[in-house]
Amino acid sequence: MALIQVNFMSKTLFRTVPMQVILPVDKFTRPGAPVREDKPFKTLYLLHGLLGNYTDWVTETRIQKWATEKNLAVVMPSGDNSFYLDHPVSGNINNNYGEFIGNELVEITRKMFPLSHDREDTYIAGLSMGGYGAIRNGLKYHETFGYIAGLSSAVHILEDIVNVENRNIVYEESCFGSLEDAITSDKNPRVIVNNLKERQSKGENIKFPKVYMACGTDDGLINVNRSYRDFFTESGLDITYHEEPGHHDWAFWDKYILKVLEWLPLEDSASGISSGNVRG
């Protein structure tokens, strides 16, 4: 497993930005064990949460071990406290994090590394703020991402926003603009789903990503995650949902990132046999 530190000039963010990449290219295999076919890697774009950065997943979970076992490349960008959105021009110019995640990051990592260009091999996931970012950008850029996973997703920002005081940690308006306006825009994943379904009804060939969500029952975000589960189910999306006792913490996310990898259509490096969710 190679753990690669990368700094590159982002055209959408207009500055040099960091990321870490797990690339299982240097593994030793047992004598007589099957040798992995030399082909592009399936790739997970993995987003951190609020107050975190691109090193969090490596330092707080066993993602390196599991990605190596499953021959999965993992790209971990830094999203600051951006909610992975294109910020209002009047607020933060050159903070187009949505376009960065959905377009530029995928394009530049495919140029740098031997990654698959296929939608069905391209995944996005995250925790808390990153769970929101994965769900929103996975849906918005549905032609790029075939699978989305959100753990303890912070999808509450645009839910019941009126007359709720002290509801947020940072100034979300700097990311979303007016929350009252954002709730009817494509910053709201529900709006994206409804717009895509309307386009489907008019004959467009829209293919929704498969979705995985999980949240601890002791997490303050459990009710809104259940609400999203119900919305996705009612909208006809392929949604897998898990919950169990757990808090908004790394103990839960370390456990459930493995469940995400088990859900994804990955290969067992020992056998070369696909595992996880392999439905069409």
- Mind listing the pLDDT tens digit for each residue in 240-259? 999 999 999 999 999 999 99
* pLDDT at 90 > cutoff 70: no
Find out whether 176 and 158 touch, Cβ atoms under 8 Å. Answer: yes
Find out whether 211 and 148 touch, Cβ atoms under 8 Å. Answer: yes
- Mind listing the pLDDT tens digit for each residue in 20-62? 999 998 766 666 666 667 899 999 999 999 999 999 999 999 9
Secondary structure of residue 210 in the 3-state scheme: strand
pTM for the whole structure: 0.92
Contacts of 95 (CB under 8 A, 6+ apart): 13, 82, 86, 87
Query: Quick one: pLDDT at residue 180?
Result: 86
* pLDDT at 99 > cutoff 80: yes
- Mind listing the pLDDT tens digit for each residue in 133-177? 999 999 999 999 999 999 999 999 998 665 455 555 556 778 888
Question: Model confidence at 271, in pLDDT bands (50, 70, 90)?
Answer: very low
The yes or no reply on domain 2-275 and CATH 3.40.50.1820 is yes
Contacts of 121 (CB under 8 A, 6+ apart): 40, 41, 42, 43, 146
